[in-house]
Amino acid sequence: MLGLLGAPGAESEFALPISSKTVERWACDCSMTRVLMKDSVVIDVGRAERVIKGPKRRALIARDKHCQWPGCERPASWCDGHHIVHWINGGGLELENLVLLCQRHHWLVHEGEWQIVKTGADEIVPVAPTRLFGMPRGPD
């Protein structure tokens, strides 16, 4: 999740290796359990806790009501809470850093590399990824 070069993909039961972008999306809004290991031996397991839970989740749903991608009105029950600055990068759990996105648009932000920019009016503006095709070759 730190985006380190050469880091192995994540693993899941009955699946091929999973990209760090997919794990990042899952980690935006999931239940997490802390598992401490030492020398490949589990030494402690914590309780599962949701990343966005209780009153914070209710406040997010009350504020956004549906996916906040412009033109999308998929209901909150179809949405994940997305961290505009991901918690792995130091983003907080305050409401200003959270936005409801349906699974399709949440996927676009993480795996599709779109960016979300929040305006002063509490609206979000999606910014398409920059793709560079056919870079000019230098002289041979």
Stretch that binds Zn ion, among 50-58, 76-84, 114-122, 124-132 (CB under 5 A): 76-84
Of 34, 23, 26, 116, residue with least CA distance to 80: 26
Question: Does residue 98 bind Zn ion (CB under 5 A)?
Answer: no
| DSSP reduced 3-state for 134 | coil
Of the candidates 67, 98, 108, 116, which one interacts with Zn ion according to CB under 5 A?
Answer: 67
Choose which of 60, 82, 100, 124 interacts with Zn ion (CB under 5 A): 82
Query: What gap in Å lies between CA 57 and CA 70, rounded to an integer?
Result: 21
Binding mask 103-132 for Zn ion (x = CB under 5 A): --x---------------------------
Look at the block and give the residue holding tokens 């409801």: 100
* Minimum distance of Zn ion from residue 25's CB (angstroms): 5
Number of chain positions touching Zn ion (CB under 5 A) = 8
DSSP assignment of 67-99 equals --STT---BGGGEEEEESS-GGGT---SGGGEE
By CB under 5 A, name the binding residues for Zn ion.
28, 67, 69, 72, 74, 82, 102, 105
